[in-house]
Amino acid sequence: MTALMDQDQPLLRVSSVTKYYDLMIGCRNVSFDLWPGEVLGIVGESGSGKSTLLNCLSTRLEPNSGAIEYNTRASGLVDLFTMSEAERRMLMRTDWGFVHQNPRDGLRMGVSAGANIGERMMAVGARVYGDIRESAAHWLGRVEFDIDRMDHLPSTFSGGMQQRVQIARNLAVNPRLIFMDEPTGGLDVSVQARLLDLLRELVGDLGLSAIVVTHDLAVARLLSHRLMVMRNGEVVESGLTDQVLDDPQHPYTQLLVSSILQV
C-alpha cells in the first residue's frame, strides 16, 4: 500500500476512452474527471454511445484505448484495467453500485426483496442474521418500500417497487460511486417522478458520486450537477447542467434542448 485515497484527486479520471465494436464506433476519445459527491449526467439520443461509455467506466466492457483511473481507498488513483479481475470484482462489490434500467438485470428474481439486499451485505462479509435483516429493513425503508413485503419475491412487485429494491440493494454496502443507466426509463411518468425525487434525495443525503445515463433531459436536469452531451460516440459539449441546458453552445445540444430531435 502506498497512500490512502487522495482527497485532492478526482474519484474517477477518464482519459481518451475509445471503444469500437468491430468497425462501428461505440464511443470515442472521451475524457473527464468525476469528483467526490458529484453527479454527472450523460445525455444524447439513442445510439450516441452512452451505455457503451458507462459499461467501459464500470469495467463491464474493456475500451480499445484510453485509461480509466479510480481513486481507491488503499492506493489512490489506479488504472482499472491494470487491476486483476479479482480486484475489480471487489471494487464492484464494495465501492460501486450499478442501477440498470430493467430491474430484472439488477435483482435476483428468485429470492425475496430482503434477501436481495442481505446477499449483497454477505458478499462483503456480513454474517449475523439479525444484523443483516435489520439493515435490509433499514435500506428498504430508505427507498420507501413497504417493509411488510420484504419477504415477498420481486416478481410480485410493480416496476417502480422493483426499481426501489434494486436501488436499496445497491446502497446496502455503502458504495462511493453509483452508475445508473436510464434508472427511471422503463416506468410510467408519475412513478418516474416520485422515484427521481427519491434518487435525488438519497444521492444528496448519502453524499454519493454518480454517473447517470439518460436520454431524458428532465431526468438529467433533476439529478446531475454536470452534463456531458454525446453524439455519434463523442462528447460534443459538457458543463454545469443549468448552463448546458439553459444556454447550449453546440448546435446539436441546441437541437436536443429545443426538442426538435426525437430522443
Chain positions contacting Mg ion, by CB under 5 A: 51
Q: Does 186 bind ligand ADP (CB under 6 A)?
A: no
Considering CB distances under 5 to 8 angstroms, the limit depending on partner class, which of ligand ADP, Mg ion, none binds residue 101?
none
Closest CA to 222 of 249, 204, 248: 204
Residue 44 contacts residue 231 (beta carbons within 8 Å): yes
Among 52, 163, 214, 253, binds ligand ADP (CB under 6 A): 52
**Contact call for residue 97 and ligand ADP (CB under 6 A):** no
> Cell 459499461 sits at which residue?
55
Which one, 49 or 160, has the nearer CB to Mg ion? 49
Q: Is 63 in the site for ligand ADP (CB under 6 A)?
A: no
| Alpha helices (H) along the chain | 50-57, 85-94, 103-106, 113-123, 129-142, 159-171, 189-206, 217-223, 241-246, 251-257
Least Å distance, CB 257 to ligand ADP, is 17
Q: Nearest distance from residue 217's CB to ligand ADP, in Å? A: 14
b/e 65-96 (16+ beta carbons within 10 angstroms → b): ebbbbbbbeeebbbebeebeeeebeebbeebb
The partner in contact with residue 47, picked from ligand ADP, Mg ion, none with C-beta cut-offs of 5 to 8 angstroms by kind, is ligand ADP
CA dihedral for 162, 167, 170, 174, sign (positive or negative): negative
- Interaction between residue 46 and ligand ADP (CB under 6 A): yes
What is the nearest approach in angstroms of Mg ion to the Cβ of residue 55? 9
Q: Which residues of 21-39 are buried (b: 16+ CB within 10 A; e: fewer)?
A: eeeeebbbebebebebebb
The site partner of 24 among ligand ADP, Mg ion, none (C-beta below 5 to 8 Å per kind) is ligand ADP
Out of 21, 62, 147, 240, the residue judged to bind ligand ADP by CB under 6 A: 21
Of 51 and 112, which CB lies nearer to ligand ADP in the complex structure?
Answer: 51
| Contacting residues toward ligand ADP, per CB under 6 A | 21, 24, 26, 44, 46-52
